[in-house]
Structure 1
């Protein structure tokens, strides 16, 4: 997985965003339509939301790198890497499909990556009764879902769900003894300790990513 390529793309598009302000315009257009459960600051709401979405995009390579490194440390990288490859391929495909002029074109790519890992967690929870990755992206993803618009975001959600479901059904590695042993024997405290090193995504809207033993 070439995390640095993702970082370089984000840096390049960040520079374009300062000129074109496409993401800022998208947020300005959508802010009145946001999900009713999202509480925005009374003042400078657009600015706060812009900072959040930029952090959300910037967090993608750190998040994928965290998943990659943590899964290596506990010996389950083979089970995680196929999803990381999908997230990377989808994120970088934008450079082939169209000219990138602003961060608005990376927001749906970031959403796909974050939702992919979230869906892996959900599927894993159904199978084992606990999450694979102790990171809660629900609120962050809900905000971006609203910014992207209900119809488009729902299409992305369907793509993510179908991808994860198909992968887990078709890949033999998810039925191997090693994977079952990890489920049974992993130390929840150690797993959370490893992950806490990467608790790096914060925002200015009072929505936090929390690490808890319940996760």
Structure 2
């Protein structure tokens, strides 16, 4: 699969944000609420949030390419391909449930769908065989984005992801073959994770309940 179109979409959104600052203004308005849920830097918190969002969105094509390469190497690409195509479609043909607004804010919705879909694959495998399948761990980043999107809207997106994942994960005859493949019998250390977002991953963290 090609991620070129996704990268072009991201570049257009970044150009739009540099001209309009739409997402930055949205984040600035939401700071009082976000401070209760996230640990933010004391200086320029909106700027740190914007950098986090950009890193999160820009990580999608790399994650898709990584999953493609790993699944081909270990022989489960036929299993992974439908998930990859859906994740790609979230960017290139967004679900009608998403707002029709453009720019970086719209891509954040789409990136969340893509990352959460891949997370569902790992969660499914962990529940059944106590190990993830894909070398990804974006759990904390996904939870942070859940707060950025707002609980009501993010929950609707979660439902979309869970429905799409369920349709594919029910192909148990395919999954049984994946479990038995050589090279998938040991945990795969994450290559891409919340900690590897390139901006400043330690600046934005979940605020733990006291």
TM-score by length of 1: 0.83
Q: Which residue of 2 aligns with 1:59?
A: 59
Q: Is the 8 A contact 2:41 2:203 kept in 1?
A: no
Give the drift of 1:15.
0.8
Q: Which residue of 1 aligns with 2:149?
A: 148
Q: Which residue of 1 aligns with 2:200?
A: 204
Give the drift of 1:94.
4.2
- Secondary structure class of the residue paired with 1:34: helix
161-170 vs 199-208, greater mean Cα deviation: 199-208
Say if 1:116 and 1:68 are closer, same or farther in 2 by CA, change over 3 A. Answer: same
- Residue by residue over 1:85-124, the C-alpha shift from the partner in whole angstroms, topping out at 9 and shown as x without a partner, is 0011111114999876420111000000011111111011
Q: Is the 8 A contact 2:27 2:49 kept in 1?
A: yes
Say if 1:95 and 1:136 are closer, same or farther in 2 by CA, change over 3 A. Answer: closer
Gaps of at least 5 residues in structure 1 are 209-215
Aligned length: 201
111-120 vs 14-23, greater mean Cα deviation: 14-23
Gaps of at least 5 residues in structure 2 are 205-210
Mapped pair 1:4 → 2:4: yes
Give the drift of 1:175.
3.2
Please give the residue correspondences for 1:60-209 in structure 2 after superposition, counting only pairs within 5 Å.
Answer: 60-94=60-94, 101-170=102-171, 172-176=173-177, 179-182=178-181, 186=184, 188=186, 191-192=188-189, 196=191, 200-206=196-202
Q: Distance in 2 between matches of 1:77 and 1:207?
A: 35
Q: Distance in 2 between matches of 1:78 and 1:126?
A: 21
148-157 vs 16-25, greater mean Cα deviation: 16-25
Q: Distance in 2 between matches of 1:11 and 1:49?
A: 18
Say if 1:204 and 1:127 are closer, same or farther in 2 by CA, change over 3 A. Answer: same
- Secondary structure class of the residue paired with 1:206: coil
Give the drift of 1:39.
0.6
Say if 1:173 and 1:10 are closer, same or farther in 2 by CA, change over 3 A. Answer: same
Q: Distance in 2 between matches of 1:173 and 1:166?
A: 13
Say if 1:35 and 1:86 are closer, same or farther in 2 by CA, change over 3 A. Answer: farther
- The Cα RMSD (Å) is 2.6
- Secondary structure class of the residue paired with 1:103: helix
Give the drift of 1:55.
0.7
Q: Which residue of 1 aligns with 2:50?
A: 50
